[in-house]
Amino acid sequence: MSTLQSDIALAKGKLGVNGLKDPTQYQGTLHIATAVVDLGSTLAANDIIELCTIPAGSRVVSALSYAICHADPGTTLTVDVGNSADTDRYADGMVLSSGGVVNFLTPAIPANITAPARLDESTLIYATVASANTITANSKITFQIAYVTGN
């Protein structure tokens, strides 16, 4: 039988507080912005869904963020979540057409995970529709966007 070790186990505590490589990366107070969107029935590719504004100095935590589809929103519905600097920074290619809960990390790992960054100014977070087909009239999606403020 073999034993495998994570990077934290190999470093034997040399990685900082709670095993974080950079303990200041997500230090601070966790907040969850809850944005409920009524999709209507005319949603189309390249449409923008404004979700919320995150304050300056914050970091969005994609790993704790997700969308909840209250019912099957349509035959096809795929979105990216980001900001004006990078439209898929927080979620890349989220498939929402099956309903249920969809984490921001599926199906692709967004840039925010590999290169997290603090927002320099208050920033509008929005979803860009990549594809939409036969949207169910008045279906709702709740976006839960986690972010950390402070140092």
The per-residue pLDDT for 146 is 97
Side chain identity at 130, as an amino acid letter?
A: A
Q: How many domains does the structure of the chain reveal?
A: 1
The per-residue pLDDT for 93 is 96
Higher pLDDT, 8 or 148: 148
Q: What is the mean pLDDT of residues 144-150?
A: 93
67 in any annotated domain: yes
The per-residue pLDDT for 15 is 54
The per-residue pLDDT for 72 is 83
141 in any annotated domain: yes
pLDDT(131) > 90:
yes
Q: Domain of 58?
A: 32-149
pLDDT(35) > 80:
yes
Tell me the C-alpha distance between 142 and 65, whole Å: 11
92 in any annotated domain: yes
44 φ/ψ angles, rounded to the nearest 5 degrees: -140, 165
95 in any annotated domain: yes
- Residues 70-123 pLDDT 10s: 888 888 999 999 999 999 999 999 999 888 999 999 999 999 988 888 899 999
The per-residue pLDDT for 28 is 85
Report percent pLDDT > 90 for the chain.
60
The neighbouring-strand residues paired with 65 are none
Q: What is the mean pLDDT of residues 133-138?
A: 87
4 in any annotated domain: no
52 in any annotated domain: yes
CATH number at residue 43: 2.60.120
Q: Report the mean per-residue pLDDT for the chain.
A: 87
Name, in order, each residue with C-beta under 8 angstroms of 84's C-beta and a sequence gap of 6 or more: 123, 124
